[in-house]
Structure formats: structure tokens, C-alpha cells
Amino acid sequence: MTGSENAPPSETSDSFKLAHDHVAEGDLPEGFRFAGVTCGIKPSGKPDLSLIVSDWPVVVAGVYTQNKIVAAPVVLSRGRTPTDTIRAVVTNSGNANACTGDQGMQDALEMCDLVAEMVDCQPENVLVMSTGIIGKHLPMDCIRKGIRDAHQQVEPSLAGFIRSAEAIRTTDKNRKTVTTQVDVGQRQFRVAAMAKGAGMIAPNMATMLSCIVTDAPLTTDMAQTSLRCAAKTSFNRVSVDGHTSTNDTLLLMSSGQGTPLNPNELQIFQQALTQVAVHLAKQLVADGEGALHVMAIRVEGATDESAAETIARTVAASPLVKTAVTGSDPNWGRIVSAAGYADAEISPENTSLQICGITIYRDGAPVPFDEPALSAKMKASTEVPIVLRVGQGSGTVEYWSSDLTSSYVEFNSEYTT
């Protein structure tokens, strides 16, 4: 069992290269301006309002939380996408504007009204995202000032993009950004993306927000289909704590003009978009609150892809598996038994397991291995690969989850107090 069969595309290809941290001005798509400011929502004084403005109406697609308790900004933005008329996205952090009743919706609408006045468009041409503490009304005096300040600072620069990405963070330790250039025939397009999220992460499309901008020419149908496809194998396959947020929002904005991508070009763009999404999704897990390791779980041999995903999600969510990885304990029993109680068919006699490339369970039985050496290898790895074969079927998926540490428990036990 090598774990290499049916592997997904690598994070780079001849058509596109991912970059982060050291991106250049030329990596940003045309037609967008960015800003991030401090307006006073967060007691820490850190940036808390982000604004993205397009120079002309752009195509926007969205994928949103499947939680039945939904924040006002999700209701508003979900009702406006997909579309080809958006001029701006405003995001506040530090307050989720969730479970805030009619006042919450009025506040979200006012945010759109304020941005529309600044940008000179209709309020319906503005989307809003919010993230932070649930159940508290927005401090609208702060937000009104923040929107005015952000509009004065929007610029089509890398500095503006970074400030915008910083302003959507809450408990994130690190900024999450990625850019790439996509070559399709004689044409070249750019993609730039930002995300936030470190806790309450278990998207199904957490507290997760992400905005991806591109100058590739897409129709609304192309954008929505491409975004759903990208989300399926990225943000839908990560977990920090198994908790789907009230505010999860993933947006794709296309400023591209001219002839829309043809089917072959769209396929290349789709691959690039998916890898951007995977890169961001893995950053969410790596930044999981208190996390020491990323569990890179690969399930092979399931009856189909859906079954493989069910098994991977079950293993990823197990507190016993998570804590075993925290303690660098190659406890095959926890992983194999988690697969066994997942709501999917497995073949016990054909079940095998590798951790960090070392086979420790094969065809339904443990095999001898150097436990101290493997434990040391796990401890030294920020990403712990777990490859689980559960039969002879065609179902294969990759899934990423953080481990579970005492720091996570301490942080979240004191989050609102």
C-alpha cells in the first residue's frame, strides 16, 4: 500500500504555481481594490473591517454554511449570488452578527447601504460577511466609521490586499493568503485568495470566510459550478473541531472581460481554483486553535467516493484519534475502529493502515513496527500522513484535520469570558 494511487493533482503544475507570503504586485487580478482598517470592534485594537471593491460590476458565486442557524450576512449574501452585478464585499471581524434577530438583518443591510453610497452603486450590488462572537449586535457606530475609512484607503496593491486579509482574522495566528497565475493557451489569468478560520471549523459546502478573486472571464454559471467543485475537495474536507459555523462563506469574484473561457480553458482554470482552495483549507487546519499537527488523512479502497469521505470525516473527528496524534502515539486501534463505526461499508479483512509511510496494520491484523521510531517521526512532523485502505473499491479521498491539545480546550473554555 503506497498511498499514491488515484492521487489528486499536486499543488503545482506547468499551468500554474502557488505562491504565498512573498507574492508580488503583478500577482493580483485586474479590476480589484482592497483595504483593511481598525474600526474598534475588537477590544484588542487589531484590524477588523475589510473592503474589496471592483472597478466595474463583476461575476460573483458563493457557497455557504449548511448550518440551519444562519447569520444575517449569510442570508443576505446567499440571496444575491450568483450574479454578475457585484461591486463590493465588506467584511467585519470580531462580531458574527449571528442570532441577532431583525436588528441583525437591518445592520447587515445598512452595511451594504453605506458601501453602496461610497462606491456609487445600488445596495443590492454589495455583499457582506461577518465573523466573531455569536449573539451580540454589531457596534454600528464603529462600523460606519470603518467603512468610510476603508473606502478612503482602497487600492489595487499588494499592501491593500494584505491589509484586507489581516482584517478578516479573529483567533487566527497567521494570515491565510495565496496567489497564482494560470496559463491557458495564449492567455494568462491571475487568482488571489484570502481566508480566515482557526476554530469552529467543519464546513459543509466554519468560522470560515474566504474570498477568491480572479480576472479569468467567467459566466455566472461557470463561476458557481467551479466554486462548488473546488469547495467539495477542499473546504468540505477539513475539520478542526467538527463544528460547522453559522457564518461560513466562500466567494469567487471574477472581473474578467472578453470571451469567456472555453471548456478546455475552464478545465485548466478549475484545476488551479481547486488547488488554491485546497491550499487555503490546509492553512485553516494548520492554524487550528492550539494545534500541533495536521492529520493528512487519505482513505482508499472504499465502495465509492461518498463512502470514503464518510470514513475520512469520522476518523478526522474522533477525539481519540486526534489526541493520539497530539501525543505522537501510533495507535492503530483508534483509527481502525473509527473506520469501523463510520456509516459506510468496509472490508475488515482488506483493511490496512500506514502512518508517516510506515505500515502498522495490514489485511485486518497488526504488523510489527518500531513504535518508538514512528512516534519520534510523528512528533517531528507538522503534518502526519495517515493512509487507510478499507477494501478493494474505487473510493478515494483526502481529508485534513488538526489534532486536539489542551491549549484548544483552555482557549475555548474562556472564549467569551
CB 154 within 8 A of CB 160: yes
Residues 53-65: tens digit of each pLDDT: 999 999 999 999 8
- Structure confidence at residue 2 as a pLDDT band (50, 70, 90): very low
| Cα 15 to Cα 172: distance, rounded to the nearest angstrom | 31
CB neighbour list of residue 17: distance below 8 Å, 6 or more residues apart: 180, 181
Q: Is 59 exposed, middle or buried (0-12, 13-18, 19+ CB in 10 A)?
A: buried
* pLDDT at position 206: 38
Q: Which of 65, 207, 246, 405 is catalytic?
A: 207
First to last CA, the chain: 48
Q: Which domains does the chain have, with CATH numbers?
A: 16-286 (3.60.70.12), 294-413 (3.10.20.340)
Residues 289-300: tens digit of each pLDDT: 666 888 899 999
* pLDDT at position 7: 36
Candidate from 54-63, 243-252, 329-338, 389-398 with smallest mean pLDDT:
243-252
Residues 178-216: tens digit of each pLDDT: 999 999 888 999 999 999 875 444 455 434 799 999 999
* pLDDT at position 5: 32
Residue 382 is among the residues annotated as catalytic for this protein: no
pLDDT above 70 as % of the chain: 86
